Structures are given as structure tokens and as C-alpha cells.
Amino acid sequence: MRKGLWLAGILALGVLSGCGNLKMDTDEWEANAAIESSNEQTLLSAKEIQVNKKLNLFRDVYEVEVDGNVIATITGKVVKDFGNEFVLKTEDGKILATEYQMKRTFNFSIDRQGEFKGADGQVTGYMGEKILSDFPNWGLKFHFFDLDEEETGYTEQTTRLKLNKGTSIIGTDGEEEYLVKQDNRIVLPSNYTISVMQDDEDLSVSRIEAIVITAIEDAIVTAKSND
């Protein structure tokens, strides 16, 4: 009898221990989910965003900061004859966007040169250069398109100075939605500040698109300088 009670006690402790571990696992999952949601929401609601290039010999890496905190990272590589792919991922590992751009060599008249994909891997829009219709144009100029291939905005360099370079992102109504300023520094790597110039309801280009195109333009310029 005593032996049976002793075994029952051990089983009960085991069940309670298992429930405790389950509770800990659940709490940890909920905490991680909260962090993930917090990182994404912080990025999508920020009025000022830093994009800071990190030194890396093998690929282009950019840390995305809000209020001094690293929220996400952009990684990718520009390969002139094969195009490029850049991925925006939060610090907790959630992919927010992927951009794949086809090769730029001899590509003079195609409006859609790259695809934007969302967190679910589905295409959300396109971006690319209109080299013929934008000629003559100094510097890089990218256009954004929705799924119906309707233009939603474009980038426009505001100064030719390599130090303290500026780029505006213009929306469908012709208003400046973002101002991207390169820090005035002589040494590498490059750091950029993205300022949101309009209210959220008036933005036709998303913050994610603005962040990714900032990294892409810097990577293209760097790749050109290394040729």
C-alpha cells in the first residue's frame, strides 16, 4: 500500500513538473512574440530611422536603428552581371521584406527590374530604373510600383556632394515623403538618417521600401567604386 502511494506521489510530482515546464515554455514563447511584435511595430511607426553600414568583406550589411536601438538588419550583395538580393530581418529573426533585382547590365528600358516580397514571401510590389525616360539624370533614380504596375513613388538625389549626400523619396502626389541624409563623414562605412516627412495615411511608399532602397543605393555606389 505504502509502495503504491509512494509511486503515485512520484507520478504526481512528475506531472506537476511537466506542467511547470510547459508554463515556462509558454511564457517564453509569449515573451518572444511580444519582442517580435514590438520590433516590427517600432520600425513601422518610427519618424526617424538610422541605416548604418557595417564593415564586412563578403556582403553588404546594414543595421537599422530606432532611438539608438538596433531593430533590424539588412543583408545582401550587389553582383553587377547577376543582380542582387537584399533581406530585411528584425533582430528576433522575422523577415519583413526581400528585394530581388535582376542584373543591371544592358538593362535600358525595363520598368520592373526588381521585386519586393513581404514577410509571407508574396510579391508586394516592384522597383527599378527608367534609364531611357529619365535621361539625362545624374545619380541613381529608382521608381516604385504596386502589383498593378502603377507607380507609387521614386527617389531623387538632392545634392551631388558625396559627403552629406541627400536623397528624397517622392510619392504619387509629388510630395516628399522621406528625406534620406548621409552623415557628413570622410571615413567609411556610410551611415544614413531617414526622416519621415508625411503622416502615415499620406505615405504611398512604405517605410520598409524606403529602408531597403537606402541600403541598395549605397551598395550599388560602393560596388561601382570598387570596379
Q: In this predicted structure, what is the pLDDT of residue 172?
A: 92
Helix pair 207-226, 2-45: axis angle to 10 deg: 70
- Where along the chain do its domains lie? 1-45, 47-226
pLDDT in tens, 144-159: 999 998 999 999 988 6
Instruction: Please state, in angstroms and as integers, the Cα–Cα distance from residue 96 to each residue in 48, 145, 154, 208, following that order.
Output: 18, 18, 21, 8
Q: In this predicted structure, what is the pLDDT of residue 185?
A: 61
Q: Which parts of the chain register pLDDT below 50?
A: 3, 5, 7-8, 10-13, 15-17, 19, 22-24, 29-31, 33, 35, 105-112
Nearest residue to 129 (alpha-carbon basis) of 211, 220, 65: 220
Q: In this predicted structure, what is the pLDDT of residue 90?
A: 94
Beta-strand pair 166-171/191-196: unpaired
Q: In this predicted structure, what is the pLDDT of residue 103?
A: 53
